[in-house]
């Protein structure tokens, strides 16, 4: 039998022949690590600027989300380029997503509580939270 027939039958059965396995080796990525790190640094810088410059509590929360997304992007990029056969970066990124969701829910609940008590969500005006 020809190798094309063996490859076809093995493909239908869900197994790969040695010829297919050799051709399906992990190819190097088309884009390098530097663009990912650059985008992550820009997102992180924007997040820091939003947290530092904005006085609105919702905008500060959005800045914190940008910081977490930049960290997640770094974990994914370094995981892909440094250890391509491991999923450590993806697992850490899933934890970051869960933490970001919990942080957003709690912070928005606190912000709504502050708004109901003080009629403002400006961070500067909520310095003294006397009962």
User: How many domains does the chain contain in total?
Assistant: 2
Does some domain include residue 26? yes
pLDDT at 9: 46
pLDDT at 105: 94
Nearest to 28 by CA among 72, 70, 84, 77: 84
> In CATH, what number is assigned to the domain containing residue 54?
1.10.287.3510
CA distance 48 to 41: 10
Q: Residue 119: give the domain boundaries.
A: 32-126
Mean pLDDT by 10 residues, the chain (131 residues): 50 51 59 92 97 92 95 94 89 95 93 86 74 58
User: Are 19 and 42 part of one and the same domain?
Assistant: no
Please indicate, yes or no, whether the overall pTM of this predicted structure exceeds 0.85.
no
User: Are 58 and 99 part of one and the same domain?
Assistant: yes
Structure tokens at 111: 């912000």
């Amino acid at each position: 039998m020809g190798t094309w027939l063996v490859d076809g039958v093995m493909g239908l059965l869900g197994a790969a022949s040695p010829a297919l396995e050799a051709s399906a080796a992990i190819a190097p990525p088309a884009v390098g690590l530097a663009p990912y790190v650059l985008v992550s640094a820009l997102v992180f810088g924007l997040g820091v600027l939003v947290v530092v410059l904005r006085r609105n509590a919702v905008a500060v929360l959005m800045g914190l989300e940008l910081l977490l997304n930049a960290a997640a992007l770094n974990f994914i990029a370094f995981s892909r380029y440094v250890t391509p056969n491991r999923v450590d970066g993806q697992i850490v990124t899933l934890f970051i997503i869960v933490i970001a969701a919990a942080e957003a829910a709690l912070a928005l609940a606190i912000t709504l509580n502050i708004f109901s008590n003080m009629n403002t969500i400006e961070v500067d005006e909520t310095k003294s939270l006397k009962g």
